[in-house]
Amino acid sequence: MAKYFDVHPENPQRRAIGKVVDIVRADGLIAYPTDSCFALGCQLGNKDGIDRIRSIRRLDNRHHFTLVCQNFAQLGQLVHINNVVFRAIKASTPGSYTFILPATKEVPRRLLHPKKKTVGVRIPDHATAQALLSELGEPLVSSSLLLPDQDEPLTQGWEIKERLDHDVDAVLDSGDCGTEPTTVIDFSDDEEPEIIRRGAGDTTRFE
């Protein structure tokens, strides 16, 4: 059964966050809130956790996983980024955006797009997600919590606990975080940004 942690939306209790991080470090899989719906998350080297995300969401190997980072210091270790792209991303983060970029050797091959060798990265603007990332001290491999039989992501922690009680190890809840996933911008060709998905983030500066 999944453990359930209900924390304050603006000042999440550090003790609870610490317990969730312990589960992540023990190769657990968690559901946690972001600024654009709940996500599934595990550690970068957790092959079983990544396979569990694929199984829950029924994803194929072309799916772009997202590495959710606390800040640019983490993001910069995971993707190749030039000055022009850096400025564009810097102006939009933290926020509800996922950016597709060429991955560095720090990213396990199993997380990469098989042909492009790219990966998604983002920096969320959400107190609970930021507290979790700060305590963990490294990025989380993540994917939006959109189940195969659902048109929209699950938005309530208790409902996620009911639906995924035997599929995840913990649910971190800090209240409703919306149903709209991130806006996805592809910078992988190093030239013009391509809007892959219009979501919670404003696309004006990328058009």
**Encoded tokens for 70:** 């606390």
Question: Taking the mean position of all CA atoms in its chain, how far away is CA 141?
Answer: 6
Phi, psi of 100 (to 5 degrees): -95, 125
The answer, yes or no, to whether residue 205 has pLDDT greater than 90, is: no
CB 200 within 8 Å of CB 35: yes
Domain range for residue 155? Answer: 3-206
The answer, yes or no, to whether residue 162 has pLDDT greater than 80, is: yes
Q: SS in 3 state form for 40-76?
A: EEECCCCHHHHHHHHHHHCCCCCCCCEEECCCHHHHH
Coil, helix or strand at residue 148: coil
Q: What is the spatial distance between Cα 103 and Cα 12, in angstroms, rounded to a whole number?
A: 32
CATH number at residue 93: 3.90.870.10
Edge-to-edge strand ranges of the sheet holding 66-68: 3-6, 170-173, 30-34, 37-42, 140-144, 66-68, 118-122, 97-102, 183-186, 194-197
Q: What is the spatial distance between Cα 203 and Cα 92, in angstroms, rounded to a whole number?
A: 10
Q: Between 79 and 60, whose confidence is greater?
A: 79
Q: Between 16 and 146, whose confidence is greater?
A: 16
Q: Between 6 and 149, whose confidence is greater?
A: 6
| Count of domains for the chain | 1
Mean pLDDT of 95-99: 95
DSSP single-letter state for residue 133: H
End-to-end CA, the chain: 45
Q: Between 191 and 140, whose confidence is greater?
A: 140
Q: How confident is the model over 164-196, as pLDDT tens digits?
A: 999 999 999 998 787 888 999 999 876 689 999
Q: How confident is the model over 14-23, as pLDDT tens digits?
A: 999 999 999 9
Which residues lie below 8 Å from residue 123, measured CB to CB, with a gap of 6+? 68, 69, 70, 71, 72, 75, 93, 94, 95
The answer, yes or no, to whether residue 61 has pLDDT greater than 80, is: no
Reported as type and span, the H/E element at residue 158 is: helix 157-163
Phi, psi of 67 (to 5 degrees): -95, 110
How much is the mean pLDDT over the chain?
A: 92
